[in-house]
Amino acid sequence: MGIFGRAPSGGGPPTSRRDRRQLGARARSKTGARRETERRAQVIVIVGFVVVAIAILGVAGFGYYQSTIRPKQQAVVKVGDRNFSMGYVEKRLRYEIRNATPGEPLLLNQDVAVVQTLNSIEAEELNRIGATQLDVSVGDGEIEAKIRLNLGLSDSADPATYADAYRTVVRDSGLSPNEYRELVGSQLLEDEIRKNLRSGIPASAEQIKLRDIRVVSQEDAQMVLDRLAAGEDFATIAAEVSYDTNTKNNGGEMGWMPRGALEPAVGDTVFALEVGQRTEPVWSSQTNTYYVYEVMEKSLSMEVTSDQRRLIEEQSYVDWQDGIAGQVQVNRYYISDMTMVTRLREVATSEGSGVQAGQ
């Protein structure tokens, strides 16, 4: 009520408790709405920052994936159904370099280290594929025994001692525990395959005494033949042009070679010749070079020496692996992607520098 007993006719302040409550409610409603609007604006700003941050992290993460993770997942070589990734090949390359004996070629040349590692990985998988054809296998117990032998521990060694030594050797290898065990198993499997092939080497065999001149091209080989036909001395030409460091300073003489010690194409060619005859240029798939061979002597049967047995075993192993490789598909992706080779060269150079610094 007004001072004159009447309510004000204008918009003055309310005098009744009810009016004051309604006014307070409206004020609180406006304040709440303003605060809700401000809160929503803050949420929008925060969400915007989060979206931007996620976008930045996403771009950075994608770049890291593209530059670091994805290349390591790329298949470098595939043997049969199994891919070997860049990440695994890098680890194996480091392992091979760290465990090489001083003076080995792979410590002196990065390309040798890369090629040797890739060849080893391929050969190991071919062994796993082909072992069943020879009825050869390696069990977990044999792998365990080999690991203990490598660690210098007997079967009676304390389990805790073995566990500590095993963890250390796996860590130092740079491989995972499964990869390390598989590598040990691969070494044992190759030994078993070689033993199987070795058992088939005869005590005596037909043999041939040869001398050779090794050159890089068919044209060079033909030039050698032309010089020989003109009467030049074989030993003189060998000392001058041959790339066979084992024979060039010995008149090109290789000594006696039994059947099975030479790669098949070469063996078939030279054993068909008579004493004094020479081959036409012969291509060797194992050295990627050409040879001119001359037959010095022949024997229908001679005792196979221990050195010759090793030659036959090595050639038998190479021939056997070639046969397995002919049964499965082998894809060498690094041949058509030089970025892979470049990356592996960098790893070899880095690891090789570290090994040499530690020697």
Residues 6 or more apart whose CB falls under 8 angstroms from that of 70 comprise none
Q: Is residue 176 part of a domain?
A: yes
**135 and 232 share one domain:** no
At what angle are helices 177-198 and 110-130 packed, to 10 degrees? 70
**191 and 331 share one domain:** yes
Q: Is residue 310 part of a domain?
A: no
Domain range holding 46? Answer: 17-73
**155 and 254 share one domain:** no
Q: Is residue 4 part of a domain?
A: no
**221 and 136 share one domain:** no
**195 and 333 share one domain:** yes
77-122 pLDDT tens trace: 999 999 999 999 999 999 999 999 988 888 889 999 999 999 999 9
**88 and 142 share one domain:** yes
Domain total of the chain: 3
H/E segment holding residue 248: none
Q: What is the CATH number of the domain that holds 296?
A: 3.10.50.40
pLDDT > 70 fraction of the chain, expressed in percent and rounded: 79
At what angle are helices 338-358 and 86-98 packed, to 10 degrees? 30
Q: Across the chain, how many H-helices and E-strands are there? A: 13, 7
**164 and 81 share one domain:** yes
**51 and 165 share one domain:** no
**185 and 209 share one domain:** no
Residues 6 or more apart whose CB falls under 8 angstroms from that of 273 comprise 279, 293, 295
Q: Is residue 316 part of a domain?
A: no
**142 and 182 share one domain:** yes
Residues 6 or more apart whose CB falls under 8 angstroms from that of 74 comprise 85, 86, 333, 340
**84 and 231 share one domain:** no
248-306 pLDDT tens trace: 999 999 999 999 999 998 999 999 999 999 999 999 988 889 999 999 999 999 999 99
